[in-house]
Amino acid sequence: MLDRIKAILRDQPVAADTGGFDQLQIAVAVLLIEAARMDNKFDADERAAIATLLQRRFELAPEAAEQLLQQAQTQAQESVEFYTLTRTVKDAFEYEDRIEFMQMLWEVAYADGELHDHEANLMRRVTGLLHITDRESGEARKRALRQLGYEA
């Protein structure tokens, strides 16, 4: 606790308890959760979609994906600072992986069957912060819609 207070006073980032997951996994999970929460709803369909995406991306067992999701949800409730999260993703992922991550975000945004204005705004911000072209983000959106069974 004292270390956290000292870090705040020094204006340094506070290290979060990551529960055994690396910073990339946490950043991806938190951003996916934020995509789901942008419309002020975080329902079971969105949660299940995120868990599945985390399992697939990081080759996790269902129980581990659920633990990662819970840890990320706790961190998302405490504080969400998009620049740090997206920088973690940008620095760790190659360009193609960032595009794949955008598709994951689109899948979560559309998990409830519609795209809310706040979700669309988040997608534009993340696209820029990940240094992905609008065209590539649009292509990822179309793939996500097809993946979900919607026509793109």
The residue ranges of every structural domain in the chain are 22-147
Q: Which two tokens stand for residue 3?
A: 């270390």
User: What does the CA dihedral 47, 48, 54, 56 come to, rounded to 10 degrees?
Assistant: -160
pLDDT for 51 = 96
Contact 36, 42 (CB under 8 A): yes
CA distance 147 to 125: 23
Q: pLDDT (tens digit, 9 = 90+) per residue, 59-74?
A: 999 999 999 999 999 9
pLDDT for 40 = 86
End-to-end CA distance of the chain: 49
Q: pLDDT (tens digit, 9 = 90+) per residue, 33-55?
A: 999 998 888 888 889 999 999 99
pLDDT for 68 = 96
Alpha-carbon radius of gyration of the chain: 15
Q: What is the pTM of this model?
A: 0.82
CATH fourth-level superfamily of 22-147: TerB-like (1.10.3680.10)
Q: pLDDT (tens digit, 9 = 90+) per residue, 81-131?
A: 889 999 999 999 999 999 999 999 999 999 888 899 999 999 999 999 999
